[in-house]
Copies of this chain bind each other. A is one copy, B any other.
């Protein structure tokens, strides 16, 4: 998908919601346990009930790898179930030396057919650029993450008082363009969103951390939105575990609808 196509879907759905498909066995509604592939059925019902509000879906690979070899088949079935007009993100946080990153890129973009993959920047340029060689595909590079540990290294400053996450933005934006790189900026980092936007005014940002992790949607939109929205805000647990009973699909829909209503207002205010 191009950024224009993503923005068109945002306008059509009046929403910039990304749903994180991160299922764990212990939290699946019990009536699904008798299904042949309970996680796939769970994902399908979540998708059915959120597809009017979500412009993107983001399965985190850890949840599928933890299921053993069959987990990747469940992931592939889930991905194949998603319609073409939603943006699909493999939250994998990969990054390796060049030839190895190239293998990851082929796995996620060609074999599984994801639109985007999250990548960790620590190993630098040649660990990222192999992911940029696929037409219409995206790297979503970790810049400032939503977790407490983001303070350990991402906020370290150099002699010019630039934080590491700013260096990552400055350098990496030249490795590609706003048409094939996005950045992860946590919703818990809202005080730094303005510095992020100074460096990358046009890029899309993937924003986790609204909801369970405590970030505010309103503040994220005020500081982070640009004229083509420029935000994909992710919610995982708040939606997929809105209910642990048979009504989990409807409960997920209700949560997604509430977020969509807030997002529509924010789009009309800031975009």
Size range of the chain A interface in the assembly: 35 or more
Chain B: which residue is nearest A125 at the CB level? B149
A103 contacts B66, CB within 8 Å? yes
- Which of A24, A93, A168: most chain B Cβ within 10 A? A93
Q: In the bound complex, what is the Cα–Cα distance between A122 and B168 (angstroms)? A: 11
* Beta-carbon contact of A121 and B124 below 8 Å: no
8 A Cβ contacts from A137-157 to B: 142, 145-154, 156-157
State whether B159 touches A147 (Cβ < 8 A): no
Interface status of A106 (Cβ within 8 A of chain B): yes
Q: Does A214 contact B (CB under 8 A)?
A: no
Binds B, one of A3-11, A30-38, A67-75: A67-75
A147 in contact with B103 given A153-B164, A158-B158 (CB within 8 Å): no
What B residues does A150 contact at CB under 8 A? 123-124
A240 → B minimal CB distance (Å)? 14
Q: Which 3 A-B pairs have the closest CB atoms?
A: A124-B149, A124-B152, A62-B103
Which residues from chain A sit less than 8 Å from chain B, CB to CB? 22, 24, 60, 62-63, 65-66, 68-70, 72-73, 76, 91, 93-98, 100-101, 103-104, 106-107, 111, 120-128, 142, 145-154, 156-159, 161, 164, 167-168, 171
New A-B pairs, 12, CB < 8 Å, besides A65-B103, A93-B94? A62-B107, A65-B107, A66-B103, A66-B107, A69-B76, A93-B95, A93-B96, A121-B122, A123-B142, A123-B154, A124-B148, A156-B167
